[in-house]
């Protein structure tokens, strides 16, 4: 606080100098200890560390630093603002004088009992595990006098628990966890359908549904309906390669897909298209589909023959021969079908293809049926 000597009511003379104060209390504090205010802490190291004695000597212009915190730098003697230790010259002279730290610790531990108390481990900050628990020692001594052995008792308890656990879970066998595999069809069903693809599927579904209604009524398919189906197929192939082929196969297996797609429910059609795509690109799946269709046609032909529909059976037999004869155009399918020969009731002969064996089986069935009808 700044005081104007002309208006100050309180003053104190120290030597030849007068000091002015704002109040009597400030004057009394100054008069009781003038050095406290004339030499404040931080300017005179003797005030900061009265017990250190003589500080280290250093060359003029030396830098003073803290031994524990080298980043602290001062231009003269001082104390570290972090830990409070006395600063030392960075480049001390040969005549350093008394060690201030030694003087400080000598004063603090002048009594040996203080040093023992400071260095002793018998304090609250020590870990409890460093010392034995008196009550535990007493309990063990009591047990030893009566020949009680804790390890043996603990072993007996553990054996009882183990035997009890064996009885509870005897014969229990957890089911092995099986990894859940997600099929490509499931992935395709869960994948959101692009708007352009959904519109193309819906358009194809409307055209296919119109043709399907005409055939159900026994009416001929009109030219503009066939053109609409072809244009819808081209549009679908643009957003999904071979999409028209896959969707046509799916609708042939399930005609209801066309009506659902025409009404905007394209999810089922998209899933069926993915199934057909997997069959189309996988020879093993194509072989499985072929065996399924071949067995269905074989059963239908036998049913026609039993019903006396020889014309229908003959027509279906020729279609089966045509399908068998075209297998040579798909070598992958033909190779995969050889592994399904037992399911097709074929005895593969050396040098004959699977297509030839299937065609021969159809011809043999026709000849056998003709002989039975005579």
pLDDT digit string (tens) for 198-228? 999 999 999 999 999 998 989 998 999 999 9
pLDDT at 43 over 50: no
Which of 268, 258, 248, 272 has the alpha carbon at shortest distance from 212? 258
Rounded CA-CA distance 110/328 in Å is 110
In-domain check, residue 323: yes
In-domain check, residue 13: no
With cut-offs at 50, 70 and 90, classify the pLDDT of residue 20. Answer: confident
Residues 288 and 277 grouped into a single domain: no
Rounded CA-CA distance 240/201 in Å is 10
Name the more confident of 51 and 348. Answer: 348
Tokens of residue 88, six digits: 């030392």
In-domain check, residue 308: yes
Residues 192 and 277 grouped into a single domain: yes
Q: Do 261 and 204 meet the contact criterion of CB atoms below 8 Å apart?
A: yes
In-domain check, residue 101: no
What is the extent of the structural domain holding 290?
A: 284-373
In-domain check, residue 205: yes
Residues 233 and 190 grouped into a single domain: yes
Rounded CA-CA distance 342/354 in Å is 12
- Determine the pLDDT at residue 176: 65
Residues 254 and 298 grouped into a single domain: no
Q: Do 258 and 176 meet the contact criterion of CB atoms below 8 Å apart?
A: no
Residues 297 and 327 grouped into a single domain: yes
- Determine the pLDDT at residue 210: 92
- Determine the pLDDT at residue 207: 92
Q: Which residues of 50-69 are buried (b: 16+ CB within 10 A; e: fewer)?
A: eebeebbebeeebebbbeee
pTM above 0.85, yes or no: no
Task: Give the mean model confidence (pLDDT) for residues 296-313.
Answer: 88
Longest dimension (CA), the chain: 157
- Determine the pLDDT at residue 11: 84
Strand partners, 79: 86
Strand extents, DSSP E, the chain: 10-14, 17-21, 64-65, 73-74, 88-89
In-domain check, residue 108: no
Residues 248 and 298 grouped into a single domain: no
Question: Which segment of 127-141, 201-215, 313-327, 339-353 scores lowest on mean pLDDT?
Answer: 127-141
Which of 294, 373, 269, 284 has the alpha carbon at shortest distance from 332? 284
In-domain check, residue 69: no
């Amino acid at each position: 606080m700044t005081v104007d000597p002309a208006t100050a009511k309180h003053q104190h003379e120290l030597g030849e100098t007068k000091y002015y104060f704002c109040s009597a209390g400030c004057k009394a504090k100054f008069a009781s200890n003038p050095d406290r205010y004339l030499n404040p802490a931080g300017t005179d190291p003797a005030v900061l560390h009265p017990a250190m004695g003589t500080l280290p000597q250093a060359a003029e212009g030396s830098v003073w630093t803290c031994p524990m915190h080298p980043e602290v730098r001062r231009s003269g003697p001082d104390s570290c603002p972090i830990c409070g230790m006395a600063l030392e010259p960075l480049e001390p002279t040969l005549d350093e004088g008394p060690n201030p730290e030694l003087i400080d610790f000598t004063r603090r531990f002048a009594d040996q009992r203080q040093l023992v108390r400071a260095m002793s481990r018998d304090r609250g900050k020590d870990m409890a595990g460093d010392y034995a628990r008196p009550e535990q020692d007493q309990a063990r001594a009591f047990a030893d006098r009566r020949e009680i052995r804790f390890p043996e008792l603990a072993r007996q308890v553990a054996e009882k628990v183990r035997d009890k656990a064996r009885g509870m879970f005897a014969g229990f066998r957890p089911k092995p966890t099986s990894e859940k595999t997600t099929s490509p069809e499931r992935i395709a069903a869960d994948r959101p359908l692009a708007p352009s693809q959904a519109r193309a599927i819906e358009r194809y579904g409307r055209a296919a549904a119109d043709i399907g209604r005409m055939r159900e009524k026994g009416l001929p398919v009109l030219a503009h309906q066939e053109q609409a189906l072809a244009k819808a197929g081209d549009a679908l192939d643009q957003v999904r390669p071979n999409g028209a082929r896959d969707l046509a196969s799916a609708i042939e297996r399930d005609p209801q897909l066309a009506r659902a797609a025409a009404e905007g429910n394209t999810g089922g059609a998209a899933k069926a298209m993915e199934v057909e795509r997997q069959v189309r690109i996988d020879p093993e799946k194509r072989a499985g589909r072929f065996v399924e269709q071949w067995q269905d046609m074989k059963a239908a032909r036998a049913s026609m023959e039993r019903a006396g529909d020889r014309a229908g059976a003959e027509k279906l037999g020729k279609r089966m021969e045509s399908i068998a004869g075209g297998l040579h155009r798909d070598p992958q399918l033909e190779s995969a079908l050889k592994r399904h020969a037992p399911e097709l009731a074929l005895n593969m002969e050396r040098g004959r293809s699977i297509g030839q064996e299937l065609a021969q089986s159809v011809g043999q069935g026709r000849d056998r049926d003709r002989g039975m009808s005579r």
